[in-house]
Amino acid sequence: MYHLLKGLHEYLTRKEEFSVIILGLDGAGKTTLLEKIKTLYNDVPGLPADKIAPTVGQNTGKISLPSTILQLWDLGGQKGIRSIWPRYYDDCHAVVYVVDAEDRERLSEGWEVFDNVLSAPQILGVPLLLLANKQDSPQSLSVEEIRNDYEEWHQRKMESARRRYGEEMELEHRRERIASLDVMGVSALEGTGVRTAVDWIFIRVQNSIRRDEPL
- Predicted confidence (pLDDT) per residue in 186-198, tens digit: 999 999 999 999 9
Indicate the number of domains in the chain.
1
How sure is the predictor about 32, in pLDDT bands with cuts at 50, 70 and 90?
very high
Expressed as residue numbers, the domain containing 117 is 12-212
Please report the pLDDT score of residue 176 as a whole number.
Answer: 62
The answer to whether 24 is a known ligand-binding residue is yes
The answer to whether 23 is a known ligand-binding residue is no
Which range of 65-69, 76-80, 130-134, 163-167 scores highest in mean pLDDT? It is: 130-134
The answer to whether 25 is a known ligand-binding residue is yes
The answer to whether 76 is a known ligand-binding residue is no
The answer to whether 77 is a known ligand-binding residue is yes
The answer to whether 55 is a known ligand-binding residue is yes
How sure is the predictor about 8, in pLDDT bands with cuts at 50, 70 and 90?
very low
Q: Do 143 and 184 contact (CB within 8 A), yes or no?
A: yes
DSSP strand pairing (94-100 vs 16-23): parallel
- Domain-embedded: residue 194: yes
Query: Residue 121's domain is classified under what CATH number?
Result: 3.40.50.300
- Predicted confidence (pLDDT) per residue in 86-116, tens digit: 999 999 999 999 999 999 999 999 999 999 9
The answer to whether 193 is a known ligand-binding residue is no
Q: DSSP letter at 18?
A: E
CA torsion, ordered 160, 165, 170, 174, to nearest 10 deg: 10
Strand-by-strand arrangement of the 128-133 sheet: 58-65, 68-75, 16-23, 94-100, 128-133, 182-185
CA torsion, ordered 138, 140, 141, 146, to nearest 10 deg: -150
How sure is the predictor about 49, in pLDDT bands with cuts at 50, 70 and 90?
low
Q: How far is residue 74's CA from residue 63's CA, in Å, rounded to a whole number?
A: 14
- Domain-embedded: residue 80: yes
- Domain-embedded: residue 97: yes
